[in-house]
Amino acid sequence: MNGIQDGVAVVTGGGSGIGRQSSLRFAEAGAKVVVADVDEDGGHETIEMIESNGGEATFVRTDVTDSDDVDAMVQTALDEYGGLDFAHNNAGIADEGTRLAEYDEAEWDRMIDVNLKGVWRCLKAEIPEMIERGGGAVVNTSSVAGVSANGSAHYAASKHGVIGLTRRATVDYAEDGIRFNAVCPGVIDTPMVQQAGEDNTEEMDRITAAIPAGRLGDPEEIADAVVWLCSEEASYVMGQPIIIDGGLLVQ
For the annotated catalytic residues, the residue numbers are 155
- 220 CB-near residues (< 8 Å, 6+ apart): 21, 25
Q: Is 35 exposed, middle or buried (0-12, 13-18, 19+ CB in 10 A)?
A: buried
Which among 142, 138, 230, 223 has a CA at the least distance from the CA of 185? Answer: 142
Q: What is the CA radius of gyration of the chain?
A: 17
131 close to 176: Cβ distance less than 8 angstroms: yes
The distance in angstroms from the start CA to the end CA of the chain is 33
CA–centroid distance for 234 within its chain: 17
CB-count burial class (<10 Å; 0-12, 13-18, 19+) for 77: buried
Q: Are 21 and 45 in contact (CB under 8 A)?
A: no
